[in-house]
Amino acid sequence: MTLRLGDTAPDFEQDSSIGKIRFHEWAGDSWVVLFSHPADFTPVCTTELGLTAKLKPEFDKRNVKAIALSVDPADKHIDWIKDIEETQKTVVGFPIVADADRSVSTLYDMIHPEQSATATVRSLFVIDPNKKIRLTITYPMSTGRNFDEVLRVIDALQLTDGYTVATPGNWKDGDNVIIPLTVTDPDVIKQKYPKGFEAPRPYLRLTPQPNK
């Protein structure tokens, strides 16, 4: 199944490190970062889940829940969490889906046969409170993810959902933003962008970031 931006994230019910989870019900009205890892007790995955655990305060500020997934069973997840917490000096405060039958992996196209016929690649989905997919990133098994980038994109998505702006390349929270080309009426521009703007080109109008 090919999932595209704007699609509704498929619901599922599956076992996890905290028991059965019905995904949409568990997500509630939060944003969600759903990410898969190839296997438990592997080095790259251990660092990734440790980083995710340490980012909980940042996720909480943004109304984001994290949920991981691999095809290992729940009891193995629980044993592995002890290793993650000990080696990464953190507390894993999010569930790990135990997709032993690969039903969720298939639903979200997380198994890429040219990488592995059985293990999931490093897929990541950002899903908004309306259960719409807003970002997809797929990393190879050998490369750990950049979770600073995940937070940066969530900041951009939440900002552009609230204001009529776009974000330039390498944008970070607090940087100038872009006035979209669809906004042309001078009165509307004055209303929406009271701090004014600079226009090095007619199609490139930069304005201070609105207050969130």
Active site residue 45: yes
Helix/strand/coil (H/E/C) assignment for every residue in the chain: CCCCCCCECCCCEECEECECEEHHHHHCCCEEEEEECCCCCCHHHHHHHHHHHHCHHHHHHCCEEEEEEECCCHHHHHHHHHHHHHHHCCCCCCCEEECCCCHHHHHCCCCCCCCCCCCCCEEEEEECCCCEEEEEEEECCCCCCCHHHHHHHHHHHHHHHHCCCECCCCCCCCCCEECCCCCCCHHHHHHHCCCCCEEEECCEEEECCCCC
The one catalytic residue among 45, 96, 98, 165: 45
Q: Which residues are part of the catalytic machinery?
A: 45
